[in-house]
Amino acid sequence: MPHEVVRHLLSALAPDIAGRFAVGMAMRIHPSFEHSEMRWRAAQASCAAYGFQAYDWLATWQRELGARQGWEVCIVELTDADDRTLMLLPLGLQRKQGIRIAGFLGGEITDYHAPLLHPDFDASSFALLWPVIIRLLGGVDVFRARRMPQHVEGVANPLIALTGMRRTEQAHAATLTPTYAEFQKARSAKMFADTRRQLRRLNEFGTVKLLIDAPADQRAAVISGMAQQKARRWHETGSRDLFAEPGYLDFYQHLAAQGLSGGEIVVSALYVDDNLVATHWGMRYGSRFYWLMPGYQDGEWARYSVGRILLDAVVQHCIAEGLAVFDLTVGDEGYKMQWADHMLPLYAGQQGHSLRGKIVVACSEAWQQLRARARNNERLRSLVRRLRGQRSSRSNQ
């Protein structure tokens, strides 16, 4: 049984700013997921959050990936005088080359990094609280964050207004209508007609079977198929193959097997006879469905838009279930523009909180600016392409 975590009154931590906040506000730093579990799960019922901030999502990430990457858990909780959770920040600390870095837990597989926020929390003076939080974490050199949403299910995210944060990318989502027919009217009729045509063509090859949510005894096989399909695609595009690294496939398998409090993991599949031609690993949380890890078989099957057929079937199911948003998450892939009707701005940035940290941030910012200028220099880009071409030619001789 975890020991009780100390509750620090803001009036004792920072008496100079305590008057700017409600009487009785306090903070806790939970040193593990076990210490925070009871309060975190309760906060999910009262606070605005995305599925990526569910206890089970991040606890599974820490167990399978975070611990092996050197992340130390430091979950920050702000409470009111009645000890209700006003904000829960799933933060961690990681040491790199002697620099102690604070950041959100969840890594690259978490599309939105954000706090859980109670609608009653007045975050207008959050910038004053932030140095107190950093001090309580202890020994922080640098704070880094990425993919922070502007709002958390309609509640303003105060972290994006911190010094050093800026908009860097966006996610895409579709508002779901009461009926599928209404949803279709707002999008390309040609796309839906082609999807129906491709489905008819698939039926000529064999028996088509759509599993919106695969049964428990088939989930592991579908997820393994998804991983193979994703890995193939990553290799084709020269991207990092996460499933070649320890822990990543375990995360998806284990979370699908154990479930997600406040929502569910949905594993979908499209079969033609015994051929697994398209897959998806996604999440339902609240009234939002997250389209996260789609895969499809290459070769002949790719000609039949099998990935789009599965996506269309999942959208229809979400509408029938009365969900409000189909979230295509981060990234500007072309197919997302065909389905989405709004964007979610995402922010990133870094701050130095010690002399060493400020030097690191200054060097990092200078390097990023240099890279941005290089990417925008057409003559330099042409030179790099020629050098790569020459190197490729020599390696093939």
* pLDDT reading at 385 higher than 90: no
pLDDT of 391 above 80: no
- Which two three-digit tokens encode residue 321? 């279930």
Region 39-44 average pLDDT: 97
Which of 258, 298, 291, 308 lies closest to 277 in space, CA to CA? 298
Pair of tokens at residue 71: 């992340």
For the stretch 7-39, pLDDT in tens is 999 999 999 999 999 999 999 999 999 999 999
Dist. CA 146–CA 347, nearest whole Å: 6
Q: Is pLDDT above 50 for 392?
A: no
CA terminus-to-terminus distance, the chain:
64
Per-residue pLDDT at 384 = 60
Does residue 375 register a pLDDT over 80? no
In whole angstroms, give the CA distance from residue 205 to residue 343. 38
Q: What pTM was estimated for this model as a whole?
A: 0.92
Give residue-wise pLDDT tens across range 185-237. 999 999 999 999 999 999 998 999 999 999 999 999 999 999 999 999 999 98
The predicted structure's pLDDT at residue 395 = 43
Give me the mean pLDDT over the 364-371 stretch: 85
pLDDT at 160 over 90: yes
371: pLDDT strictly greater than 90? no
Q: Which domains does the chain have, with CATH numbers?
A: 7-169+346-356 (3.40.630), 177-323 (3.40.630.30)
Q: Given a cut of 90, is residue 1 above it in pLDDT?
A: no
* pLDDT score, position 376: 78
**Which ranges of the chain does DSSP label H, i.e. alpha helix?**
10-13, 33-46, 55-61, 126-137, 180-185, 189-203, 216-237, 248-258, 306-320, 334-339, 355-376, 378-396
Residue 386: the pLDDT is 66
Name the band, by pLDDT with cuts 50, 70 and 90, for residue 396: very low
Tens of pLDDT, residues 69-115:
999 999 999 999 999 999 999 999 999 999 999 999 999 999 999 99
- Residue 343: pLDDT band (50, 70, 90) is very high
Mean pLDDT of 303-328: 97
Q: Residues of the chain with pLDDT > 70: what percent?
A: 95
Closest CA to 333 of 250, 231, 194, 233: 233
Q: Which residues of 266-276 are buried (b: 16+ CB within 10 A; e: fewer)?
A: bbbbbbbeeeb
The model's pLDDT over 275-300, given as tens digits with 9 standing for 90+, comes to 999 999 999 999 999 999 999 999 88
